[in-house]
Chains A and B, each alone.
Chain A
Amino acid sequence: MHKVWVIIRREFVEKVRTKWFVISTVLGPLLMASFIVVPILMAERGASRREIRVVDATTDGFGGRIVDAVRPPLPIEAELVSVSLERVESVADSLTTLVGEKQLDGYLIVTDATVANGSVEYRGKNVSSLTDMQILESVLGREVLTARLGRAGVDREVVAAAQIPVRLQTVSIRGGKVTEESGTSAFVLAYAVWIILYMSILLYGVQVMGAVVEEKTSRVIEVLVSSLRPFQLLAGKILGVGAVGLFQLSIWAVSALVLFRRRDLLLEMVGARTGGMVGAGTLPAVSVATLAIVLAYFLLGYFLYAAMFAAVAAMSNSEAEARQAQMPVVMLLVVPTVLMVGILQQPDGGMAVALSLIPFTAPIAMPVRWAAATVPLPEILGSVVLLGGTLLLVVWITARIYRVGILMYGKRPSPRELWRWVRAS
């Protein structure tokens, strides 16, 4: 046991000292900070006002009401250009020139047909902005409705009072209880869980592969296996890299939390106006149970994949060869990723249940399901038992492949040879 500890410590100390570790550990929080800052900066930049003209060819001054409605806090300002129907096109031409000269963002042409059958035209350079177009549509829709109701004899005040926006608040129910979590936050959480698990299992699994290949190519392996059993070496390697992974993940988690809590400070630092926008985002509420599930499946999944990556490395002669041979292993990890949308849309559907029970996809699929919806306890237990059993089997097979493979140089073994390695004891 002491020898395994020696391997773990070396793996940890040497990995933590590498440039790779230092850079990626620092880069993580920087990336997270940019996730917080960039959208807000973008929003601020987007907050510059768009200037448009409303070309009013109506007979009842409908365009004027549009201009009145398009004003702060909306990010669009409008001015009225009243014309007769015949002159619309020539005015439009000169406005087009103004848009070309960047003195104007666009113009709206309203006619009597607008109120009559809803036809209206906007020409501008911001037509690809979904927000801008939604604002115009909703203003137009409201005003057309008001105008038509007015014609039918309904009082304007009544119409205005009747028009209030509806906001749908979603609250997720788990295990028959109403939670603090909103629907969106469950979705965000599931997504975050997926990304974290996929990235970390892949990242650290590949690290184990690199470590094993390095020992093989540098030939230091033979000295090691003369004083340690291959299984001790394998266990130390996987636990050591796993410890590095947990260490790095917790640095990232803590810095993410701190960054998010003190994001007002962060925004001040980059000189963003800290208006009401800062309060807008909240971290999705994460329960202790969710945390435990994610952590448990990360560990089980990491061990499973690290063992498979180690077997791949033991069969290969070089880093490049190992990267080729790892494809089947990576594919297994990619399966739940490809089917992620399906899992999220129907967390209780047949596919989601199957993926969360199959040991190779469970490490990602089950926590994602858990984050998105309620998972019955028997399913979790079943999945853990299956995963644990497969893990033992894979480690047993890997230890055997490892023992023979680490001393083999030359041709990569065929599946039949591999089978012989596994059987020989």
Chain B
Amino acid sequence: MNDDVIVDLQHVTKRFAGHTAVRDLSLRVPRGSVYGLLGPNGAGKTTSIRMVMNIIAPDEGAIRLFDLRESGQDLSRRIGYLPEERGLYKKMRVLDLLVFLAETKGVDRKSAKRQARQWIEELGLGDWVLKRVNDLSKGMQQKVQFIATVLHEPELLILDEPFSGFDPVNTQIMKDVVVRLARNGTTVLFSTHIMEQAEKLCDSVCIIAKGSKVLDGRLAEIKREHGGRTVTIAVDGGVDALHAILEDGSLVAKADRYPQYAEVELVAGASPQTLLEAIVRQRLQVRRFEAGEASLHKIFVDLVGKDAATPRAEEDRHHA
């Protein structure tokens, strides 16, 4: 076993009454990486993360953190966890709450206080230190929750849908902090169903659907393998004007149509150049022509299928 694997899941399976939430899932989060656990709602992301935190136990398989035998609770000093279900003690004062939560992770009272004050200042909550959580706006409560996650300078950050429920300003603040921490060597494991965010932040991903792994690896490699021959085209007249070209089986293997543009996968042997020539021959006014990698979203949709990729109505929240 390799010391540079921070989170290691081996053939993990979890069943709930009636269905299997996670099936034979193996993944490795290398030290220092930003690792995205991607999948539609109900794919088993939260269940997987809860098993990593030892909040629920897997039925089969093994989970190791930092290549140690200890469980999540014993290693809480080294882990920062932001659950999908956010919540704080409403009646506690901000500082007391942050110090308490840090203490439950094993930080001593004195340094917990010092660090809490530091973070509170940094995120602009200075005037609210002695206020009760209840008196804070929703956005400020989100900041407090985030501080509680990173306060003890964990080596491993586990964030479950970190960008859902946060307002745009806080999302940006949080992203900046996460990026900064990652640059300083913190390993980040986060789950999301929003591919654009994963694409911006991750260097490795694991895509799961219906409890099983579909694909994992470094993001750059995945893109090279799965989307090397993609062209994005936009012309005057919208996607309808492109109809003839998109139907041309000698050029186009697959096309995703959006009102203003199309994402095109070329057949083997065809080059972007031939495609451009065909467009020019049709006398279409080109507004955008971009050859390159497919977006993660496209890869995800191709692999998982459109049905699975579309967020479903929240079902069985606690099983998700």
- Would you list 21 pairs from A and B whose C-beta atoms are within 8 A, ordered by A residue? A2-B106, A3-B104, A6-B104, A7-B104, A13-B96, A218-B87, A218-B89, A219-B83, A219-B87, A223-B81, A223-B87, A223-B148, A225-B55, A226-B53, A226-B72, A226-B83, A227-B76, A227-B105, A228-B76, A407-B318, A409-B318
The yes or no answer to B138 lying at the interface (CB within 8 A) is no
Q: Within the complex, which residue of A7, A10, A14, A223 is in contact with B83, where a contact is CB–CB below 8 Å?
A: A223
Contact check, B56 vs A407: say whether CB atoms are below 8 A apart.
Answer: yes
- In the complex, which residues of chain A have a beta carbon less than 8 angstroms from the beta carbon of B81? 223, 226-227
Within 8 A of B (CB), among A368-407: 407
The yes or no answer to A229 lying at the interface (CB within 8 A) is yes
- Between A7, A225, A409, the greatest number of chain B beta carbons within 10 A of the residue's beta carbon is seen for A225
- In the complex, which residues of chain B have a beta carbon less than 8 angstroms from the beta carbon of A222? 55, 83, 85, 87
The yes or no answer to B73 lying at the interface (CB within 8 A) is yes
Residue in chain B with minimal CB distance to A225: B55
**Known pairs A226-B55, A227-B76; A219 contacts B92 (CB<8 A):** no
B12 nearest CB across to chain A (Å): 17
Report B's interface with A, CB cutoff 8 A: 17, 50, 53, 55-57, 72-73, 76, 79, 81, 83, 85-92, 96, 100-101, 103-106, 148, 317-318
Q: Within the complex, which residue of A3, A6, A221 is in contact with B87, where a contact is CB–CB below 8 Å?
A: A221
Apart from A222-B83, A227-B81, what are 18 other A-B pairs with CB-CB below 8 Å?
A3-B103, A3-B104, A7-B104, A14-B91, A14-B96, A18-B91, A218-B89, A218-B90, A222-B55, A223-B81, A223-B148, A226-B53, A226-B72, A226-B79, A227-B73, A227-B105, A229-B73, A407-B55
Q: Within the complex, which residue of B57, B76, B87, B106 is in contact with A226, where a contact is CB–CB below 8 Å?
A: B76
Residue in chain A with minimal CB distance to B53: A226
- In the complex, which residues of chain A have a beta carbon less than 8 angstroms from the beta carbon of B17? 417, 420
The yes or no answer to A168 lying at the interface (CB within 8 A) is no
* Size class of the contact patch on chain A: 20 to 34
- In the complex, which residues of chain A have a beta carbon less than 8 angstroms from the beta carbon of B76? 226-228
Contact check, B318 vs A410: say whether CB atoms are below 8 A apart.
Answer: yes
State in angstroms the CA–CA spacing of A2 and B73 once bound together: 13
The yes or no answer to A33 lying at the interface (CB within 8 A) is no
The yes or no answer to A162 lying at the interface (CB within 8 A) is no
B191 nearest CB across to chain A (Å): 14
Report A's interface with B, CB cutoff 8 A: 2-3, 6-7, 10, 13-14, 18, 214-215, 218-229, 407-410, 417, 420, 425
A411 nearest CB across to chain B (Å): 10
- In the complex, which residues of chain A have a beta carbon less than 8 angstroms from the beta carbon of B85? 219, 222
**Known pairs A229-B73, A407-B56, A410-B318; A224 contacts B83 (CB<8 A):** no
Contact check, A6 vs B90: say whether CB atoms are below 8 A apart.
Answer: no
State in angstroms the CA–CA spacing of A214 and B92 once bound together: 12
Contact check, A227 vs B317: say whether CB atoms are below 8 A apart.
Answer: no
Q: Within the complex, which residue of B53, B88, B103 is in contact with A6, where a contact is CB–CB below 8 Å?
A: B103
Contact check, A3 vs B106: say whether CB atoms are below 8 A apart.
Answer: yes
State in angstroms the CA–CA spacing of A417 and B88 once bound together: 29
- In the complex, which residues of chain A have a beta carbon less than 8 angstroms from the beta carbon of B103? 3, 6
State in angstroms the CA–CA spacing of A425 and B59 once bound together: 10
Q: Within the complex, which residue of A218, A226, A425 is in contact with B73, where a contact is CB–CB below 8 Å?
A: A226
B201 nearest CB across to chain A (Å): 22
Residue in chain B with minimal CB distance to A232: B73
**Known pairs A407-B55, A407-B318; A218 contacts B104 (CB<8 A):** no
State in angstroms the CA–CA spacing of A425 and B317 once bound together: 22
A199 nearest CB across to chain B (Å): 25
- Between B53, B104, B148, the greatest number of chain A beta carbons within 10 A of the residue's beta carbon is seen for B104
- In the complex, which residues of chain A have a beta carbon less than 8 angstroms from the beta carbon of B90? 218
Q: Within the complex, which residue of B53, B88, B100 is in contact with A218, where a contact is CB–CB below 8 Å?
A: B88
A32 nearest CB across to chain B (Å): 29
Residue in chain B with minimal CB distance to A6: B103
Residue in chain A with minimal CB distance to B109: A6
Residue in chain A with minimal CB distance to B52: A226
